[in-house]
Amino acid sequence: MTHVLEARSLVRDYHIPGSLFRKARTVHALKGVSFAVDEGKTLAIVGESGCGKSTLGRIITLIDPATAGELLIDGRKVDIAREGLTSEMRRKVQIVFQNPYGSLNPRQKIGDILAEPLVINTKVPAGERRDRAMTMLKKVGLEEKHYNRYPHMFSGGQRQRIAIARALMLNPKLLVLDEPVSALDLSVQAQVLNLLADLQDEFKLTYVFISHDLSVVRYIADDVMVMYYGEAVEYGSRDEVFSNPQHSYTKTLFAATPRADVASIKARLARKNAA
């Protein structure tokens, strides 16, 4: 069985051109990352800010090309730097961004935002586009009356639902979620995560879930990859990684997660009193 997404030692360098007072230098954002995701599964990519998570996300979404390495989607090799991109490939991967306030065009109505991918990639007539947009709108928990509104009339959680709906309009196999809930408050986070889980079952979606929030990752992921300075320091199934972290960075990361259960609070108080 082929993997929906497979990466073989992806490398991405950014060249910063030198100026009069500075030498040119190269930033290695990704230093050879390999992984594979099967259909219907979720791979969570965890790491601190600036560790290359989002760079990886942009490469998987075919926005930026990788400097070296191979990217296979549905068993087919993709190289946008050399061959460009067919609309068929484009339709297989979609993305949901972190900031729901910047990812929707403020001058477009919701209906137009949802229909735009269909207008660009398919020859579906206007009536059917409308129907499909309506159906998707209801699938993500919004109502028909929202169809003619503008993005600024929605709350953050609703906007993220719209962004998810837009990503699903082309029936992609793979959805890259770039910290989709980190800009939302906790109750809305739970709603959106549940929505994502439901949609995954319904459409047999494969998720690449980029996050820094371990509790969210523990909830949604099948596999976990921990990144540190452009390298994958830990990669395995969720239970393996959470129960038996190997790398020291992963251990630090888990230790840094705030705990609120009674035992750990008591232990902390005991330590504090002892000191």
Partner 1 sequence: MTEVTAASPISTDPSRRARLAEFWYYFSENRGAVIGLFFFLFLVVLALCAPLVAPHDPTVQFREAVLLPPFWQEGGRLEFLLGTDAVGRDMLSRLIYGTRFSLFVGVIVTTLSLSSGILLGVIAGYFRGWVDTVIMRMMDIILAFPSLLLALVLVAVLGPGLTNAMIAIALVFQPHFVRLTRAAVMTEKTRDYVVAAKVAGAGHLRLMFRTILPNCMAPLIVQATLSFSSAILDAAALGFLGMGAQPPTPEWGTMLAEAREFILRAWWVVTLPGLAILLTVLAINLLGDGLRDALDPKLKRS
Site residues for partner 1 per CB under 8 A: 61-63, 87, 90-91, 93-95, 97, 99, 102-107, 109, 116-117, 120-121, 141, 143, 148-150, 152-155, 157-158, 163, 166, 170, 187-188, 191
Q: In whole angstroms, give the CA distance from residue 270 to residue 259.
A: 15
The pairing of beta strand 231-237 with beta strand 223-228: antiparallel
**Distance in angstroms (rounded) separating the CA atoms of residues 263 and 265:** 5
Determine contact, residues 224/234, Cβ cutoff 8 Å. yes
Q: Which is nearer to partner 1, 36 or 188 (CB)?
A: 188
Residue 5's alpha-carbon distances to 16, 47, 173, 218, 262, in angstroms, are: 30, 20, 10, 21, 41
Q: How far is the CB of 144 from partner 1 (least distance, A)?
A: 13
Least distance to partner 1 from the beta carbon of 53, Å? Answer: 16
Residue 247: CB minimum distance to partner 1, A: 32
Nearer residue to partner 1 within complex by CB, 102 or 125: 102
Can you say whether the dihedral through the CA atoms of 180, 9, 43, 169 is positive or negative? positive
Residues paired with residue 45 on neighbouring β-strands, in sequence order: 210, 225
Minimum Å gap between C-beta 185 and partner 1 is 10
Based on CB atoms, which residue is closest to partner 1, 65 or 141?
Answer: 141
Please, which residue, 166 or 238, has the CB nearer to partner 1? 166
**Which residues, at least 6 apart from 67, have a Cβ–Cβ distance to it below 8 Å?**
11, 12, 13
Contact 212, 48 (CB under 8 A): yes
Nearer to partner 1, 100 or 245 (CB): 100
Q: Output the smallest distance, CB 162 to partner 1, in A.
A: 11
If the CB atoms of residues 88 and 201 are measured against partner 1, the closer one turns out to be 88
Closest approach of partner 1 to the CB of residue 109, in Å = 7
